[in-house]
Amino acid sequence: MAGSGEPRRHHGRGGHHGGGRRGGRHRLFDYGEMRLLVLSLIAEKPTYGYELIRMIEEKFGGSYAPSPGVIYPTLTWLDEAGYARIVEADGRKNYHITPEGEAFLAASRTALDEILARAATGAAEGRGGRKNVPMPVMRGMENLRTALRLRLRNGGLDTEAEEKIAALLDDAARAIGQV
């Protein structure tokens, strides 16, 4: 909840914000945990959104990279809650931790340590079955997966849109096969 200093808690598993399984995959972060991770990273080094994506991907050994659709709303929340402030430089919005953000991190140390332990485990395990996939390719795969999921979630695909998406995917597969 913006400004309350506490991440919103949910009851049970698998609810709207829950940590249950969706689509057969376990959520890496429960509600509010991404905020702690991002806040801890900007406490170490003030930075901007895309760099945070790369830092998190590195921290997880390439096994996880948040999408811009996760990072930017998180940064907005941290700014609105008063835990981070924006300093514009060279056309980028660099996020810096505030004293309130430092206090929130200190109060949330146990939860943050658990998140960092998961990151260390993910980094130690590499990228599982995808450890031979270069990070830029993995990022592209994740971007495609996210774009498809969002487009299909919105529904309302007519036959023409379905065929166009299928043709684009087929073209991409052929082009990749020729690289």
R_g over Cα of the chain: 18
- Among the candidates 130, 147, 170, a domain finishes at 130
Residue 176 has what pLDDT?
A: 84
Phi-psi region of 64 (alpha: psi -120 to 50; beta: other; left: phi over 0): beta
Domain of 61, in residue numbers = 1-130
Same-domain pairing of 93 and 165: no
Same-domain pairing of 56 and 100: yes
Same-domain pairing of 124 and 140: no
Same-domain pairing of 94 and 139: no
- CA dist 174 and 177 (Å) reads 5
How many domains is the chain built from?
2
Please give the DSSP secondary-structure letter assigned to residue 8.
Answer: P
Same-domain pairing of 46 and 116: yes
What CATH number should be reported for the domain holding residue 105? 1.10.10.10
Tens digit of pLDDT for each residue in 156-171? 788 898 888 888 888 8
> Is 30:19 a contact under the CB 8 Å cutoff?
yes
With a pLDDT cut of 70, the percent of the chain lying above it is 77
DSSP string across 65-124: ---HHHHHHHHHHHHHTTSEEEEEETTEEEEEE-HHHHHHHHHTHHHHHHHHHHHHHHHH
**The model's pTM:** 0.57
Same-domain pairing of 55 and 94: yes
Same-domain pairing of 177 and 114: no
Tens digit of pLDDT for each residue in 56-114? 988 887 778 888 989 999 999 999 999 999 999 889 999 999 999 999 999 998 888 88
Same-domain pairing of 15 and 92: yes
Same-domain pairing of 97 and 167: no
- Among the candidates 104, 130, 156, a domain finishes at 130
Tens digit of pLDDT for each residue in 18-62? 333 334 444 677 778 899 999 999 999 999 999 999 999 888 877
Same-domain pairing of 76 and 152: no
Same-domain pairing of 115 and 144: no
Same-domain pairing of 97 and 40: yes
